[in-house]
Amino acid sequence: MNQFRWGIIGTGGIARAFATDISLLDDQIVAAVGSRNLQKAESFVKNIPGAKAYGSYEELMKDSQIDAIYVATPHPSHKENVISALNASKPVLCEKPFAVNVAQAKEMVAAAKANNVALMEAMWARFLPHYSKIREIVSSGVLGQITTIHADHGQRLADQNIPRLVEPSLAGGALLDLGIYPISFAHMILGVPQSITATAVFTNKGVDAQSSMIFDYSNGAQAVLNTTMIAQTPCTAVIAGLNGFLEVNRTFYNPTSMRLTLFDGTTTDFPSDYKGHGLREQAVEFARVVKSGAKESPILAWADTIAIMEIMDTVRSQIGLKYPFEN
């Protein structure tokens, strides 16, 4: 079998989860891992038969056996890592948030175009089976005109001193790491808002501990979104239309169950029997894109990623969240 061979840049928790989920596929493997610390790379590949360990990202990018690179480094490193890989003619799946701001995102897409290489944001939830079903339900018209979206993503993380969440130098805060899930969800259903109203509570280090947003759309719909790293929240989502509503159960961005309730009282349950974390569907789609010769996925195109980053920039501007490395 001609297996699709991944190289992973970064050795953190999401990289390990990705590698574990890839192991559930018959036609994809993790072939190499790159870290700035060779010992970390060697430790990472111990349980991945045949995988190589590289002590630099550049070495991994030069490996001719690698079909694509998954970038799982801290947020501020994404732009540099992605562009370097694209310049080495490697297709790239970049962990979310795709970039720290829209200017960086546009540079990354420009590099993909210039090198004629595939690039995709690893907003894994977009590729899950229940998200596909959500899009199907919405497009069927059974809900009628969509009027309201509610979505929240809250985890109690602020008191656990996780550097990537609490440090301004690592683009910390709830918005980029957690808030992108409800924002991307709303974008998937309603597109780009006409106006945004946002407010936040800040940590003593100057990043957002909690942010709340209202998106207003030109058709009269609204999305009410919240993200927090202070406390655990239900992490559910609701899409409401004139003819009914769809409830996406906890945790809405993970494989989960749903219930459709129509105005006449009829209900339809969508149970979940999913196995695994949920990171492999994006890998399957990206491998399809690469093999087809395409450069982006219709499920999450470059224009979508850029639009979402623009929304995040607007929210950050309203709440006054700026990182020290930004001009």
- CATH number of the domain enclosing 105: 3.40.50.720
CA–CA separation, 257 vs 249, rounded Å? 6
Q: Place 229 in a pLDDT band, splitting at 50, 70 and 90.
A: very high
pTM above 0.85, yes or no: yes
- Residue type at position 51: A
Cβ atoms of residues 165 and 172 within 8 Å: yes
Residue reference for tokens 């192991």:
23
Residue 183, CA distances (Å) to 112, 137, 191, 228, 267 in order: 24, 19, 10, 13, 27
Say how many domains are in the chain.
Answer: 2
Cβ atoms of residues 258 and 249 within 8 Å: yes
* 179-205 pLDDT tens trace: 999 999 999 999 999 999 999 999 999
Kindly state whether residues 116 and 151 are assigned to the same domain.
Answer: no
H or E element: which one contains 92? strand 92-95
Structure tokens at 182: 């409800």
Mean pLDDT of 261-267: 97
Cβ atoms of residues 71 and 33 within 8 Å: no
Kindly state whether residues 259 and 136 are assigned to the same domain.
Answer: yes
Kindly state whether residues 266 and 144 are assigned to the same domain.
Answer: yes
CA–CA separation, 149 vs 151, rounded Å? 7
Kindly state whether residues 137 and 11 are assigned to the same domain.
Answer: no
The verdict on residue 326 lying in a domain is no
* 109-156 pLDDT tens trace: 999 999 999 999 999 999 999 999 999 999 999 999 999 999 999 999
What is the per-residue burial (b if ≥16 Cβ within 10 Å, else e) of 17-47?
A: bbbbbbeebeebbbbbbbbeeeebbbebbee
- Burial bucket for residue 308 (CB in 10 Å: 0-12, 13-18, 19+): buried
Neighbours of 203 (CB within 10 A): 18
Instruction: Please say which residue of 235, 256, 275 terminates a domain.
Output: 275
* 63-85 pLDDT tens trace: 999 999 999 999 999 999 999 99
* 35-54 pLDDT tens trace: 999 999 999 999 999 999 99
Residue span of the structural domain in which 185 resides: 129-275
Q: Place 93 in a pLDDT band, splitting at 50, 70 and 90.
A: very high
Kindly state whether residues 60 and 174 are assigned to the same domain.
Answer: no
Kindly state whether residues 258 and 144 are assigned to the same domain.
Answer: yes
